[in-house]
């Protein structure tokens, strides 16, 4: 009987314990002679963490809240301004006629205001102001958007005689600050009703999944991991599932920041409606600024004071959070450090030992300017190359450098509940009922892993969430671009 040896048979023994090519057990032998290594490789069982903490979620958790909803949309109302002030022009200075063009914020229709229902009435005392002059006047005639306001003081009866000049159609502002009536006269004939603006947003349905087949599940391989979703220690194939879950959790937050409502001429599917995220809400109803540019301390402080002036015109919320990228954070630090020094050597206020072992802290987490307190924090989402950081690098003109968010709560009217509620300015609404919660829904399908729901030779982990963001009082928010 003839015995034929296999072409890759490695059967040459050695009289000594030497790792030679002739007597090494070759698991990967090929035409080139197999392993070139003399020894078995070391297996590092711990996964190397080369990107630090990869998750970006947590921004909304710091400054907002989550609340269940049962409808297809959330509707809320925000109060309008209490006092009456309008932008317009002196259409006819010789007749003391002011024409209302917009509200004080420059809107033709906003917070219940339209040109047809401005609140200026006969008998009102008003301040009329142009770039050249300001005068106290009394309203004598109201005819639509045209208001006749006669000056209280001056050398004549009309505006052209008291310092407003003789040129018509000059931009002007009018402010109602009171009223005056004679003895025995009738009361006002019309009332000014409180106005409000109604807003709405709708949730979007988000989905993802992770799948592993039965063959891979039966081949056990342990890896020591440290994950963002708590999958610490030794894990098997579920390490990849943990990454999928962590990524989906980040999607839940990123979608609340970046999403926009679908446009009229959109190219996406008919079932897609979109939702209003934080950035879109601020661009639509809030304020946009370049923020602190980092040119020099004096310029940066002037830029920041312009932000304070804008807040003074709005809700003047005392405490605010600054979530910024690295460059903006350092610009704030440099500005504050420059303000915290004096003398030719830039000696800081305070007492220090000035030894070589002193650790100097060049970062600031909070500061107070005027009547406002600001708490600064780096926003990883704006720095990470795998998230907004790469987009900001590509489009530097429209890059988002940070966001200023008011702290505390606001009182709004909830259209669903029919009453006033105090809620954080920023909160997430998710679909839920007593029988079903879609805040973060997970279920397993397939025929692997002990859960048999189909004949698929795999285990599929499914994820779903239905949620939207509610941005209340967006006039108190500011986006740095």
Statement to judge: residues 383 and 296 lie in one domain:
yes
Statement to judge: residues 114 and 215 lie in one domain:
no
Statement to judge: residues 292 and 382 lie in one domain:
yes
**Total structural domains within the chain:** 2
Q: To the nearest 5 percent, what fractions of the chain are helix, strand and coil?
A: 20, 35, 50
Helix, strand, or coil (residue 391): helix
Statement to judge: residues 161 and 305 lie in one domain:
no
pLDDT digits (tens, 9 = 90+) for 189-198: 888 877 777 8
Q: Is residue 186 part of a domain?
A: no
Instruction: Pull the structure tokens for residue 324.
Output: 């910024």
Q: Mean pLDDT for each consecutive 10-residue tract of the chain (481 residues)?
A: 56 52 51 47 50 58 74 82 89 92 83 80 93 92 93 84 90 93 87 79 91 76 57 58 83 90 75 87 89 82 89 85 89 82 52 60 82 88 87 85 81 54 77 90 87 88 92 88 88
Q: Is residue 42 part of a domain?
A: no
Statement to judge: residues 205 and 288 lie in one domain:
yes
Domain boundary among 134, 157, 181: 181
pLDDT digits (tens, 9 = 90+) for 107-125: 887 666 778 888 899 999 9
Q: What is the pTM of this model?
A: 0.75
Instruction: Pull the structure tokens for residue 333.
Output: 């630090």
HEC readout, 35-91: CCCCCCCCCCCECCCCCCCCCCCCHHHHHCEEEEECCCCEEEEEECCCCCEEEEEEE
Burial class for 362, CB neighbours closer than 10 Å (0-12, 13-18, 19+): exposed
Statement to judge: residues 262 and 376 lie in one domain:
yes
Q: Is residue 17 part of a domain?
A: no
Statement to judge: residues 457 and 408 lie in one domain:
yes
Instruction: Pull the structure tokens for residue 302.
Output: 């002037």
Q: What is the pLDDT of residue 113?
A: 73
Q: What is the pLDDT of residue 339?
A: 75
Owning domain of residue 438: 51-80+194-342+361-481
Q: Is residue 9 part of a domain?
A: no
Rounded to a whole number of angstroms, the CA Rg of the chain reads 34
Statement to judge: residues 67 and 87 lie in one domain:
no
Q: Is residue 33 part of a domain?
A: no
Statement to judge: residues 129 and 200 lie in one domain:
no
Q: What is the CATH number of the domain that holds 161?
A: 2.40.30
80 CB-side CA count, 13 A: 22
Q: Is residue 154 part of a domain?
A: yes
Spatial distance between the Cα atoms of 428 and 249, rounded to a whole number of angstroms: 14
Spatial distance between the Cα atoms of 240 and 246, rounded to a whole number of angstroms: 10
Statement to judge: residues 90 and 217 lie in one domain:
no
Domain boundary among 181, 211, 240: 181
Instruction: Pull the structure tokens for residue 13.
Output: 């023994």
Statement to judge: residues 124 and 149 lie in one domain:
yes
202 vs 49, 194, 224, 459, CA distance in Å? 38, 27, 41, 33
Q: Is residue 354 part of a domain?
A: no
Q: Is residue 353 part of a domain?
A: no
Statement to judge: residues 378 and 255 lie in one domain:
yes
């Amino acid at each position: 009987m003839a015995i034929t040896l296999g072409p890759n048979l490695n059967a040459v023994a050695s009289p000594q314990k030497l790792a030679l090519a002739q007597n090494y057990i070759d698991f990967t032998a090929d035409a080139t002679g197999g392993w070139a290594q003399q020894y078995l490789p070391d297996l590092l069982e711990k996964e190397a963490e080369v990107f630090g903490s990869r998750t970006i979620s947590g921004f909304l958790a710091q400054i907002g809240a989550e609340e269940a909803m049962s409808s297809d949309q959330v509707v809320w109302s925000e109060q309008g301004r209490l006092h009456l002030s309008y932008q317009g022009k002196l259409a006819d200075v010789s007749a003391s006629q002011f024409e209302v063009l917009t509200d004080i914020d420059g809107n033709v229709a906003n917070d219940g205001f339209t040109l047809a229902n401005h609140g200026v009435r006969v008998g009102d005392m008003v301040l009329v102001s142009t770039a050249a002059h300001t005068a106290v006047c009394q309203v004598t005639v109201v005819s639509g958007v045209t208001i006749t306001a006669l000056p209280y003081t001056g050398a004549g009866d009309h505006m052209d005689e008291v310092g407003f000049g003789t040129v018509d159609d000059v931009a002007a502002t009018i402010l109602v600050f009171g009223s005056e009536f004679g003895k025995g006269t009738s009361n006002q004939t019309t009332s000014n009703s409180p106005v409000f603006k109604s807003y709405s947003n709708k949730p979007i349905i988000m989905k993802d999944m992770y799948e592993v087949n039965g063959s891979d599940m039966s081949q056990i391989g342990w890896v020591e991991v440290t994950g963002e979703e708590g999958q610490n220690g030794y894990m098997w194939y579920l390490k990849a599932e943990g990454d999928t879950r962590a990524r989906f959790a980040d999607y839940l937050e990123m979608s609340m920041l970046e999403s926009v409502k679908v446009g009229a001429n959109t190219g996406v599917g008919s079932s897609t409606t979109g939702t209003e995220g934080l950035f879109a809400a601020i661009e639509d109803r809030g304020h946009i600024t370049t923020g602190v540019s980092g040119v020099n301390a004096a310029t940066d402080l002037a830029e920041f004071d312009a932000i304070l002036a804008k807040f003074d015109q709005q809700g003047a919320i005392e405490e605010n959070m600054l979530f910024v990228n690295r460059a903006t954070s350092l610009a704030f630090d440099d500005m504050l450090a420059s303000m915290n020094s004096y003398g030719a050597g830039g000696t800081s206020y305070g007492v220090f030992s000035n030894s070589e072992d002193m650790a100097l802290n060049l970062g600031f987490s909070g500061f107070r300017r005027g009547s406002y307190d600001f708490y600064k924090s780096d926003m990883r989402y704006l720095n990470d190359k795998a998230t907004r950081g790469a987009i900001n690098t590509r489009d530097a003109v429209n890059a988002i450098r940070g966001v200023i968010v008011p702290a505390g709560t606001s009182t709004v009217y909830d259209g669903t509940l029919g009453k006033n509620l105090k809620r954080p300015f920023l909160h997430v609404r998710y679909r839920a009922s007593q029988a079903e919660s879609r805040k973060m829904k997970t279920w397993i399908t397939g025929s692997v892993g002990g859960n048999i729901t189909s004949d698929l030779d795999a285990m599929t982990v499914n994820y779903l969430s239905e949620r939207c963001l509610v941005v209340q009082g967006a006039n108190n928010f500011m986006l740095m671009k």
